[in-house]
């Protein structure tokens, strides 16, 4: 395994990737450190605006929380599904996954991960061919114990360094949304980049349809999302959504709240107050700050409690300008211990108007504006029965959601 990885920022669009520096073992400590390239340090882009401002020094992981990588690069590491695939593949190849360090994991991500960061030299990837959703559906239940090593390698390649627990792949899809091909090919000619996600093994039937209906409710509430559509498998439905880190042949640098604040995947330590502040400092956009507030209200009212630090992201373009990414992974979910992963101004269990008022104040919203946002969210969610019906959410799930929405609206 290579002891060093070159890291580039690749914004695509025909512009050559820009070398940012290299990751390697930190001789002073038993960890990995990042050394900035001199040319980059002389004219840097704010890739990690809160944690990396001194480009003449090594960027090190936060030893205090036992991190092994700086948060900036942790965002490139697959977790959940992607990690499972690599671990399973390595086990099949006779390599102990516990021996596989972060540098190797990033080398498997290579040039085709999420966002614009690339890692080289990259380790083996499967050949580029068509994406077969029927095969994907068939292999998902076999991943734990009955998939062949070449299938696992193919799945890992298709996952493209994406994160999250549910089975997923990234692909290019044609204009008619009927054909998909390998995500590593060139987009254009009507092909665009999508993320395709299936139901998790512990999710209720219809949860994919539920997420698509939640998308419609969010847009009705004025929240930005990428277009979402259902793709039929042989047995179940998959969610396909346009990738926000790929725009035509261009790529955007992507960082989650976990990456920007270098928190790791901790639950319960981050509040929407911190995300409001982050949006203000990083984007300097009043619109994005208000959008964070709107999403917090929506998540409270719609019981999206799995709103953890990797489920909120920001995007940076080639000019170094940051914006809040569209909302994603918004579904009906109980959350850890029945609470929001991200508390709303201190309230994780029953957030209502009092918590919204504290958050709105921190977001600099006047009471009238704050109330208009809450009313817009409530009005959108009042349409839930119709939206659920339109998007084929099974009756049982739709009515559980309806009761939850009803209950949440009464919290003070
Ligand atoms: N539209 C999108 N464009 C680009 N990247 C996306 C998009 N939606 C999600 N992602 C990225 O893919 C990851 C996985 O997506 P998502 O959170 O929906 O999956 P999940 O498996 O349901 O996650 P979790 O484990 O949090 O429940 C996200 O963390 C985000 O980094
Ligand atoms: Mg997620």
Does residue 280 sit in the same domain as residue 388? yes
pLDDT at position 2: 58
* Residues 144, 35 share a domain: no
- Check the CA dihedral 204-206-211-217 and report its sign: negative
pLDDT confidence bin for 335, thresholds 50/70/90: confident
Residue 391 lies inside a defined structural domain of this protein:
yes
Same structural domain, 357 and 239: no
- Tens of pLDDT, residues 83-111: 999 999 999 999 999 889 999 999 999 99
Percent helix, strand, coil in the chain, to 5, is 35, 20, 45
163 pocket-lining for ligand 1 (C-beta < 6 Å)? yes
For ligand 1, say whether the CB of 149 is within 6 Å of any of its atoms: no
Whether residues 93 and 232 share a domain: the answer is no
Choosing from 214, 246, 278, the residue where a domain stops is 246
* Residue 27 pLDDT > 80: no
Give nearest CA residue, ligand 1 atom 16: 329
Identify whether residues 43 and 163 lie together within a single domain.
Answer: no
Our answer on whether the CB atom of 162 is closer than 6 Å to any ligand 1 atom is yes
Q: What is the pLDDT of residue 268?
A: 61
Q: Same structural domain for residues 183 and 97? A: no
Rounded to 5 degrees, what angle do the CA atoms 77, 80, 81 make? Answer: 100
Asked whether residue 227 falls in the same domain as residue 371, the answer is: no
- So what's the pLDDT on residue 28? 73
With respect to residue 88, please indicate whether it lies within any of the assigned structural domains: yes
User: 293, 291, 305, 295: which is closest to 342 by C-alpha?
Assistant: 305
Query: 208 and 257, same structural domain?
Result: no
Ligand 1 atom closest to the Cα of residue 79 is 25
pLDDT on residue 267? 63
The pTM for the full model equals 0.96
Name the residue among 170, 172, 144 with its Cα closest to residue 156: 170
Residue ending a domain, among 91, 120, 149, is: 120
Pocket probe mutation, ligand 1, options 329, 332, 333, max atoms within 8 Å of Cβ: 329
Give pLDDT tens digits for 143-190. Answer: 988 899 999 999 999 999 989 999 999 999 999 999 999 999 888 889
- pLDDT tens digits, one per residue of 241-291: 999 999 999 999 999 999 999 998 876 679 999 999 999 999 999 999 999
Which segments of 58-132 does DSSP mark as H helices, in order?
Answer: 71-74, 80-92, 102-109
- Taking the CA of 254 as reference, the closest ligand is 1
Range of the domain at 151: 133-246
Q: Separation of 164 CA from ligand 2 center, angstroms?
A: 5
Instruction: Give yes or no: residues 258 and 242 share one domain.
Output: no
Q: Which of 200, 219, 246 is the last residue of a domain?
A: 246
From the list 136, 141, 153, the residue with the least C-alpha distance to 88 is: 153
With respect to residue 127, please indicate whether it lies within any of the assigned structural domains: no
Look at ligand 1, atom 30, and give the residue with the nearest C-alpha: 163
Residue 259 lies in a domain: yes
| Closest by CA position to 297, among listed 335, 257, 344 | 344
Spacing, Cα 379 to ligand 2 middle (Å): 26
328 Cβ inside 6 Å of ligand 1: yes
Residues with Cβ within 8 Å of residue 77, at least 6 apart in sequence: 69, 83, 102, 105, 106, 109, 161, 163
For residues 102 and 138, state if they share a domain: no
Give 82's contacts (C-beta < 8 A, 6+ positions apart): 156, 159, 161, 162, 163
Distance 328 CA to ligand 1 centre (A): 6
CA distance 248 to 271: 34
* pLDDT for 35: 96
Kindly state the average pLDDT of the residues 296-307: 97
pLDDT (0 to 100) of residue 94 = 93
| Residues with Cβ within 8 Å of residue 156, at least 6 apart in sequence | 82, 85, 86, 89, 108, 125, 126
Q: Would 141 be classed as within a structural domain? A: yes
Tell me, yes or no, whether 125 lies in a domain. no
Summarize the confidence of residues 311-330 as an average pLDDT: 98
138 in the same domain as 78: no
Residue 166 inside a domain? The answer is yes
Tokens 């409270």 correspond to 300
- For residue 128, pLDDT over 60 is answered with yes
* Same domain (yes/no): 191, 278: no
As given in the structure block, the two tokens for residue 252 are 């955007």
Residue 80 CB–ligand 1 contact under 6 Å: yes
Is 128 inside any structural domain? no
Pocket of ligand 1 contains residue 243 by CB under 6 Å: yes
Q: Quick one: pLDDT at residue 265?
A: 80
Q: What domain count does the chain have?
A: 3
């Amino acid at each position: 395994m290579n002891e060093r990885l070159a890291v580039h920022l690749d914004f695509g669009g025909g512009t050559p990737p820009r070398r940012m520096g290299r990751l390697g073992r930190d001789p002073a400590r038993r960890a990995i450190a990042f050394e900035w390239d001199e040319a980059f340090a002389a004219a840097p882009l704010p890739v990690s605006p809160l944690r990396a401002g001194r480009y003449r020094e090594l960027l090190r992981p936060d030893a205090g929380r036992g991190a092994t990588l700086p948060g900036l690069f942790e965002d490139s590491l697959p977790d959940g599904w992607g990690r499972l695939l690599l671990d399973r593949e390595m086990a099949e190849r006779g390599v102990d996954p516990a021996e596989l360090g972060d540098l190797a994991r990033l080398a498997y991500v290579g040039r085709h991960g999420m966002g614009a960061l690339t890692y080289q030299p990259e380790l083996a990837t499967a050949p580029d061919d068509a994406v077969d959703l029927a095969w994907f559906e068939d292999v998902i239940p076999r991943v734990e114990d009955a998939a062949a090593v070449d299938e696992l390698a193919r799945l890992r390649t298709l996952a493209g360094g994406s994160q999250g627990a549910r089975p997923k792949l990234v692909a290019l899809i044609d204009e008619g949304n009927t054909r998909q091909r390998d995500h590593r090919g060139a987009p254009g000619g009507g092909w665009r980049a999508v993320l395709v996600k299936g139901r998790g093994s512990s999710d209720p039937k219809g949860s994919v349809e539920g997420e698509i209906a939640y998308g419609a409710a969010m847009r009705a509430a004025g929240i930005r999302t990428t277009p979402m559509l259902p793709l039929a498998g042989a047995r179940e439905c998959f969610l396909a959504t346009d990738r926000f880190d790929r725009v035509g042949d261009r790529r955007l640098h992507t960082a989650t709240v976990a990456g920007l604040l270098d928190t790791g995947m901790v639950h319960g330590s981050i509040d929407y107050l911190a995300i409001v502040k982050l949006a203000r400092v990083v984007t300097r956009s009043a619109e994005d700050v208000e959008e964070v507030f709107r999403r917090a209200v929506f998540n409270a009212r719609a019981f999206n409690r799995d709103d953890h630090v990797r489920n909120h992201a920001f995007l940076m373009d080639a000019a170094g300008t940051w914006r809040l990414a569209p909302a994603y992974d918004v579904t009906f979910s109980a959350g850890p211990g029945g609470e929001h992963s991200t508390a709303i101004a201190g309230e994780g269990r029953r957030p209502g108007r009092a918590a919204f008022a504290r958050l709105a104040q921190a977001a600099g919203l006047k009471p009238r504006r704050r109330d208009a946002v809450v009313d817009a969210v409530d009005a959108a969610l009042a349409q839930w029965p119709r939206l659920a019906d339109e998007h084929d959410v099974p009756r049982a799930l739709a009515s559980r959601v309806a009761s939850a929405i009803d209950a949440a609206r009464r919290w003070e």
